[in-house]
Amino acid sequence: MPALRSSSSWKWYVCGLLLLATTINYMDRVTLANASVRVTKEFALTEQQYGTLELAFGWAFAAGSLVFGFLADRFRVYWLYPCILAGWSVMGMISGWTADYTQLLVCRTLLGFFEAGHWPCALKTTFAVLSEKDRTMGNSVLQSGASIGAIITPQVMKWLMTAETGSWRSAFIVVGAFGLVWVLVWFVMMRPQELDAAPAAAEEAPRLPLGGILLSRRFWAVALLITGTQTVWHIYRVWLMKFLQTGRGYEEDAALNFQSAYYISTDVGCIVAGLVSLWLARQFGLSAHDARRRVYAGACMLTSLSVALPWLGQGPLLLVVLLLIGAGALALFPCYYSFVQELSAHHVGRLTGLLSMWVWAVTSPLHQLFGWMADTSKSYDLGLVVAGLAPWLGVLSMALLWGRGSDGLEAPGRTQA
Alpha helices in 101-243 (DSSP H): 101-115, 118-129, 132-160, 168-189, 200-204, 210-214, 217-242
Q: Which amino acid is at 130?
A: L
Q: For residue 83, give every residue at least 6 positions away whose Cβ sits within 8 Å of its Cβ, in sequence order, or none.
A: none
Q: For residue 230, give every residue at least 6 positions away whose Cβ sits within 8 Å of its Cβ, in sequence order, or none.
A: 359, 360, 363
User: Which pLDDT score, from 0 to 100, does residue 3 have?
Assistant: 43
Whether residue 89 contacts residue 179, with contact meaning beta carbons closer than 8 Å, is answered with: yes
CB-based burial of residue 134 (10 Å sphere; 0-12 exposed, 13-18 middle, 19+ buried)? middle
- Please, what are the domains in the chain? 10-402 (1.20.1250.20)
Specify the pTM.
0.75
Q: What is the pLDDT of residues 366-400, one digit of tens each?
A: 888 888 888 888 889 999 999 999 999 999 999 99
CB-based burial of residue 395 (10 Å sphere; 0-12 exposed, 13-18 middle, 19+ buried)? middle
User: In whole angstroms, what is the distance from residue 390 CA to residue 159 CA?
Assistant: 35
User: Which pLDDT score, from 0 to 100, does residue 415 have?
Assistant: 36
Whether residue 23 contacts residue 152, with contact meaning beta carbons closer than 8 Å, is answered with: yes
User: Which pLDDT score, from 0 to 100, does residue 196 have?
Assistant: 62
What are the per-10-residue average pLDDT scores of the chain (417 residues)? 55 88 90 86 87 86 88 87 95 92 94 92 82 69 81 84 82 90 90 62 61 89 94 90 91 87 90 85 84 94 97 95 96 87 76 83 82 86 94 96 60 38
Whether residue 112 contacts residue 58, with contact meaning beta carbons closer than 8 Å, is answered with: yes
Residues belonging to the chain: 417
| Total Cβ atoms within 10 A of residue 393 | 17
Q: Which amino acid is at 149?
A: G
Q: Which amino acid is at 103?
A: Q
Q: Which amino acid is at 311?
A: W
Q: For residue 337, give every residue at least 6 positions away whose Cβ sits within 8 Å of its Cβ, in sequence order, or none.
A: 123, 136, 139, 143
User: Which pLDDT score, from 0 to 100, does residue 297 have?
Assistant: 96
